[in-house]
Structure 1
């Protein structure tokens, strides 16, 4: 991977990570459209460290309170009913599904899940699910009403994002809306819930960078830094936008993009495995 590719893909990652349109799908599709090699699951996982650092900065006060009060609740009974301490436990509970399923399907995540036909279909299907959830969800609940079963429900929704095209934020927000949470509350918990999962995945994949067919260290670092800066601006914009507006524009975009990719694949313009990295010694 060259520096220009890294810059472009870092911009794409930062722009799309928090919007409910799937950053992994956009990184995959951008590379395919440009005729570049598929950057791979490791590159995507590591560059997401940048966008999660943007979450840590944007929600720094809240995350600081959660970490402090959750830690105190381990030894001080008077903190166990604290909302921030409780949120710490709920983030842990909600992170279990994606951690378990990510390890179970690691091989598929790096291979068959990256087929452009599957990416396009998930863009469409999960876009429609987001529209339905936004239409029928009661939008009455706030985060202080979050329960352990709801935390697990959010976590299962997040786990679908292991498939490019689902969208981590989109899938988790869809789950929250179906559970009756307000748009901004569903988005906030989605972003908080993503932090441990994404950071764990990114650091787990760090050793793959620069090894074999994976992109080199330098371009990956550039993409990660760019994704951080752009991602922070996108979070600030999105949190303001969804307080007054629906997710319909994102749904329309997802469906149109998914149909375009399917059309290009089935007309032979794009190979479903466009941009594969050929590992030495393999065909």
Structure 2
């Protein structure tokens, strides 16, 4: 992999990680259309680190408030809205974590085919459209409950199937539960912090037994994915309430059609 390939792959990862359009559906295209080799584990960890830095920095106010609120809860032994949110985020992370430990090998071996990605890209696009059109869109994030967090967490576990889109399926679940678009997006993005961290740490452990990576390409991956992911989240949060999910649904349908055309 050369510098140009690293920039493009990191850019694709950064732009698609948080939008409800399936990053795996996009990352499969360069290898097929351009004949590029797999990006490798080290680069995969690098772009995840970049995405994590972007989302933590964008929500730094919320992250600091959650940390401060949790310290206050420990001192006073009384929950507040910020420590409650931490509990909800932790609960929402459990289903995906357990599912990854239980089914990761099966998913890697059986569910990474282009046709599976094309199918999930299409099916979950239509489900996202249904949620956006039928959801009540009345609840704010402060109305999150343990039950709602658990349901959204179970939806996040489904995103282990390539093509689903982690952000897409969690926003779908939140919308079906009656949350506003902004609240659904915000909770989905905050949920990504622990799951990206855990995923990156798990893959990082595997790297310990491998030869040293090309550090220049790793740096490109971190920087490009961080900048593009931050810009993507900034834009998405600014327009989601008035734009809705339809543009992303239509985009996914087109992407699925391209994948079917290429691989059927």
Asked if Structure 1 and Structure 2 have the same fold, meaning a TM-score greater than 0.5 normalized by the shorter chain, the answer is: yes
> How many Å separate the matches in 1 of 2:162 and 2:213?
19
Question: What is the correspondence of 1:97-112 to structure 2 with a 5 Å cutoff?
Answer: 97-112=95-110
Contact 1:90 1:151 in 2 (8 A): yes
Counterpart in 2 of 1:187? 185
Counterpart in 2 of 1:90? 88
Moved more, 21-30 or 230-239: 21-30
Q: 1:136 to 1:91 in 2, by over 3 A?
A: same
Q: 1:104 to 1:171 in 2, by over 3 A?
A: same
Question: What is the correspondence of 1:1-283 to structure 2 with a 5 Å cutoff?
Answer: 1-39=1-39, 43-44=43-44, 46-78=46-78, 80=79, 82-209=80-207, 216-266=214-264
> How many Å separate the matches in 2 of 1:242 and 1:248?
10
TM-score, normalised to structure 1, is: 0.87
- Root-mean-square deviation over aligned CA pairs: 2.0
> How many Å separate the matches in 1 of 2:246 and 2:106?
31
> How many Å separate the matches in 2 of 1:41 and 1:128?
32
Moved more, 131-140 or 209-218: 209-218
Q: 1:125 to 1:5 in 2, by over 3 A?
A: same
SS for the counterpart of 2:248 is helix
> How many Å separate the matches in 1 of 2:41 and 2:161?
10
CA drift at 1:216:
4.7
> How many Å separate the matches in 1 of 2:85 and 2:40?
33
CA deviation profile, 1:197-256 (whole Å, cap 9, x unmatched): 111101210244496699755423321221001111111100011121111111111011
Contact 1:14 1:230 in 2 (8 A): yes
Kindly indicate which of the two structures has a greater share of residues assigned to helix: 2
* Number of equivalences: 264
Q: 1:250 to 1:35 in 2, by over 3 A?
A: same
Structure 1: runs of 5 or more not aligned: 267-283
Counterpart in 2 of 1:281? none
Contact 1:70 1:89 in 2 (8 A): no
- The ranges of structure 1 where at least 4 consecutive aligned residues each deviate by more than 6 angstroms after the TM superposition are 210-215
TM-score, normalised to structure 2, is: 0.93
Structure 2: runs of 5 or more not aligned: none
Q: 1:110 to 1:225 in 2, by over 3 A?
A: farther
Moved more, 206-215 or 119-128: 206-215
